[in-house]
Structure 1
Amino acid sequence: MPIKENLVQIKNSLPNHVTLVAVSKTKPKEDLMEAYDAGQRIFGENKIQEMTEKWEALPKDISWHMIGHVQRNKVKYMAPYVSLIHGVDSFKLLKEIDKQAKKNNRNIACLLQMHIAEESTKFGLDSEELFAMLNNANFKALDNITIKGLMGMATFTDDEAQIRKEFQNLRQLYNKAKELVPSLEVLSMGMSGDYKIAIEEGSTMVRIGSSIFGARNYS
């Protein structure tokens, strides 16, 4: 099915309060433009260099979300334009984002990435690290970032009960964190394979790639 039909079908299935991030990593600019022409304005990339090339070439009303693991030395390349950084998993990274945002006279929105999956390969903070950070005076002194919410990825498994449990755990963490940081409004969880469960468990932002653009090309 063409990109436009896929996109329209998914958008129509989402509740109004859920934001769709079209995950366009590895996809050519023509594919992004097809989604753009169908009304999509938020795209997610996982490599800063690729995202920057697309930002330079494509319409300027696109919101670019960095959804992959972020290396601190690469933050400067996306600081002029990135709309939301999903994978913030350390205070050191947050400080670097704040520093580069300041250089660009910007305030950059961030999500704190929580480790909720059973796989050891997933990045993220645990609950202790999260609340230590939120209560840290140095964290509160960062003026050029805004923590918008939390993000997490469930274990890659067919076990629906496990996926649901991990999303429920993230939702509980989000509710607790919101008591400390009332500005939180984004709970980013759910991808092509599990976004329907994520929405049932309270997600307000889903990251969908292959269901819109087809299988990824890693060659």
Structure 2
Amino acid sequence: MDLTQHVKAVQDKIAAAALAAGRDPASVTLCAATKVQTDSAIRAAIAAGIRVCGENRVQELTAHLAAGAYAGAEVHFIGHLQTNKVKQVVGKVALIHSVDSEKLLRAIDGQAEKLDLVQDILLEVNVAREESKGGILPEQLPALAEAALSCPHVRLRGLMAIPPVAAVSGDNRKYFAQMRHFLVDIIGKIADNHSIVDCLSMGMSGDYEDAITEGATLVRVGTALFGPRPPMTGSAH
């Protein structure tokens, strides 16, 4: 299949999973994970119907932005973000998925203040408590959510998680269900009616249908769209 067919196949599976869960397919956003993809591959994906691109690395994000590769799509940052790279991301993307410390949160808020804008963010939760992964532990979530809600130049939109690779289909549903409970809990504790905390970013190529079953509103799909990832090179072109 070519890229257009891959995009259609994933969109169809998203719609089917949403409908099976009693949800509107329009309530689930497909984010194309464009890690190590070329400018031309990203343009082709957008031409095939992709409306949101998610970038993992600041260097690639910067190069693709300079080349105008994301034209026609919204751009998200979905990878680990170091505080010293915040200036290259804040104001350049619609949503940062991977906020996992108060230090990073404050850096984003400070940079957004300098640019006189409000940056939308998600808090990344290490839902399976994996030492090799970023994200805050579940018990740290309430405090970080409270801190985010107090930052004038940050808008907390929801949560993100990267569970372990599922050995068997369905293995990750327990983690996705936990994330849904965490989001509901945060929404229940918000005092004002101005916060729009409604995004649950979870599910990738191997498990996005299970994630949708458990309430994902955004799935990050790379391999199922672009095929096996090409090796890293020094150029984004």
Determine if the alignment matches structure 1 residue 17 to structure 2 residue 16.
no
AA at the equivalent of 1:3: L
CA displacement 1:24-72 (0-9 Å, x = unmatched): 1100011111111122121011101111111121254431111111000
Aligned pair count reads: 217
Give the unaligned 5+ runs of structure 2: 15-24, 233-237
Aligned to 1:73: 84
Query: 2: distance between equivalents of 1:204 and 1:141?
Result: 24
AA at the equivalent of 2:204: M
Structure 1's consecutive aligned runs of 4 or more residues displaced over 6 angstroms after TM superposition are: none
Matched residue of 1:26: which SS? coil
Matched residue of 2:26: which SS? coil
Q: 1:151 to 1:104 in 2, by over 3 A?
A: same
Query: 1: distance between equivalents of 2:92 and 2:166?
Result: 35
- The TM-score, its normalising length taken from structure 1, stands at 0.93
Determine if the alignment matches structure 1 residue 179 to structure 2 residue 188.
yes
Q: CA deviation at 1:116?
A: 1.0
- The structure 1 residue matched to 2:53, chosen from 34, 43, 50, is 43
Indicate conservation of the 8 Å contact 1:118/1:155, yes or no: no
Aligned to 1:8: 8
- The structure 2 residue matched to 1:33, chosen from 40, 43, 47, is 43
Superposed CA RMSD? 1.6
Query: 2: distance between equivalents of 1:13 and 1:157?
Result: 18
- The TM-score, its normalising length taken from structure 2, stands at 0.86
Q: CA deviation at 1:101?
A: 1.1
Query: 2: distance between equivalents of 1:109 and 1:140?
Result: 11
Matched residue of 1:56: which SS? helix
Query: 2: distance between equivalents of 1:57 and 1:198?
Result: 33
**Bigger mean CA deviation after superposition, 201-210 or 180-189:** 180-189
Query: 1: distance between equivalents of 2:45 and 2:131?
Result: 34
The within-5 A match list for 1:51-130 is 51-58=61-68, 59-130=70-141
Matched residue of 2:32: which SS? strand
Indicate conservation of the 8 Å contact 1:134/1:180, yes or no: no
Q: CA deviation at 1:122?
A: 1.4
The within-5 A match list for 1:143-154 is 143-154=152-163
Q: CA deviation at 1:141?
A: 3.3
Query: 1: distance between equivalents of 2:91 and 2:184?
Result: 31
Indicate conservation of the 8 Å contact 1:190/1:203, yes or no: yes
Matched residue of 1:74: which SS? helix
Indicate conservation of the 8 Å contact 2:127/2:138, yes or no: no
Q: CA deviation at 1:161?
A: 4.7
